[in-house]
């Protein structure tokens, strides 16, 4: 049986029959806007694609992905959703659910084991907002063999992640994400598209994973420590912010900036990714 998972009444009945109550601590805001999931699925998959979904909830995005993709594996933390997902995904043999914390799952192994018969693998999710950045950074840093990551996040997080570099809107996460992927804002989603409605609007963004490095760097870990240190006190000039964070001394930083012809008064938001990489190499 197919359920109308974007229909508020249908969703409420499914949840009520299963005795399910929302857990705010798990970021449980379920989409009930019929236009959003088909559009996300279309952006993330085609008939040759294997998709990993994070946090399927009751399966509203999962079924749209399953309609388009070759195979969908969803990872859900909340075991209480098991009986509901068993019903809503009953007619979709190409979709299955692993009940686990996505941050603890070996996604490289999952891709190797499950998606051998797919031409490409992508990730698509309406992310739980309490762990948006850790999930995105862990997906990017683990260098998964995926083509793209299409996710719904809080609007402010989307703007930060896709900010133009350099600009005032840039944060450490912008540069870290840009190192691995090219981010693009796809469309906005108002707060009343969810049950229950969150206090913020959302947006769908897509990262296309880079095939080759945007900036060559000898020590990636140092680059990211430098970037985090630079944005830790974003009102301070770079030399003061980085040295205050303890990553490297003021003297070393001053001489590296001088060698690279970068003004000593520069702030983190004024540097490009390539300049951060050159600075990390000098250090």
CB contact set of 75 (below 8 Å; sequence gap of 6+): 52, 53, 54, 55, 56, 97, 98, 99, 100, 102, 105
- Contact segment (CB under 6 A) with ligand SAM among 21-29, 172-180, 225-233, 251-259 equals 21-29
Neighbours of 251 (CB within 10 A): 10
| Smallest distance from ligand SAM to CB 31, Å | 4
- Print the binding letters for residues 50-89 with ligand SAM: x by CB under 6 A, - otherwise: ----xxxx--xx-------------xxxx-----------
- Contact segment (CB under 6 A) with ligand SAM among 22-30, 156-164, 214-222, 229-237 equals 22-30
| Smallest distance from ligand SAM to CB 234, Å | 29
Nearest to 4, CA basis, from 66, 58, 40: 58
| Nearer CB in complex with ligand SAM: 95/277 | 95
Window 168-197: residues binding ligand SAM (CB under 6 A): none
| Smallest distance from ligand SAM to CB 36, Å | 8
Between CA 182 and CA 172 the distance in angstroms is: 15
Give the CB-nearest residue to ligand SAM: 55
The pair of structure tokens assigned to 118 is 């797919």
Q: Is residue 29 near ligand SAM by the rule CB under 6 A?
A: yes
Cβ atoms of 146 and 51 closer than 8 Å? no
Nearest to 64, CA basis, from 35, 41, 95, 97: 41
The pair of structure tokens assigned to 136 is 């995105």
Q: Is residue 161 near ligand SAM by the rule CB under 6 A?
A: no
Window 86-105: residues binding ligand SAM (CB under 6 A): 101-103
- The DSSP letter of residue 210 is P
> Binding residues for ligand SAM, per CB under 6 A?
26-31, 54-57, 60-61, 75-78, 101-103, 126, 128, 131
């Amino acid at each position: 049986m197919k359920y109308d998972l974007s229909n508020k009444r249908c969703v409420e009945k499914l949840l009520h029959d299963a005795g399910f109550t929302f857990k705010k601590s798990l970021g449980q805001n379920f989409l009930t806007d019929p236009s959003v999931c088909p559009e996300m699925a279309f952006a993330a998959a085609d008939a040759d694609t294997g998709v990993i979904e994070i946090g399927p909830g009751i399966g509203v995005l999962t079924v749209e992905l399953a309609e388009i993709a070759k195979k969908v594996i969803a990872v859900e933390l909340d075991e209480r959703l098991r009986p509901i997902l068993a019903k809503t995904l009953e007619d979709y043999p190409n979709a299955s659910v692993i009940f686990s914390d996505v941050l603890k799952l070996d996604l490289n192994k999952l891709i190797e084991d499950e998606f051998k018969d797919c031409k490409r693998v992508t990730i698509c999710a309406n992310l739980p907002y309490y762990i948006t950045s850790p999930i995105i950074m862990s997906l990017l840093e683990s260098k998964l063999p995926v083509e793209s990551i299409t996710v719904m996040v809080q609007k402010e997080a989307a703007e930060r992640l896709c900010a133009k570099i350099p600009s005032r809107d840039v944060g450490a996460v912008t540069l870290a994400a840009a190192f691995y992927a090219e981010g693009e804002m796809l469309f906005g989603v108002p707060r009343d598209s969810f049950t229950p409605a969150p206090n913020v609007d959302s947006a769908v963004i897509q990262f296309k994973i880079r095939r080759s490095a945007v900036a060559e760097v000898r020590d990636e870990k140092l680059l990211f420590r430098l970037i985090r240190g630079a944005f830790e006190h974003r009102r301070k000039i770079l030399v003061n912010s980085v040295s205050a964070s303890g990553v490297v001394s003021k003297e070393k930083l001053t001489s590296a900036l001088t060698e690279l012809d970068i003004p000593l008064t520069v702030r983190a938001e004024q540097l490009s990714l390539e300049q951060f990489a050159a600075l990390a190499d000098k250090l």
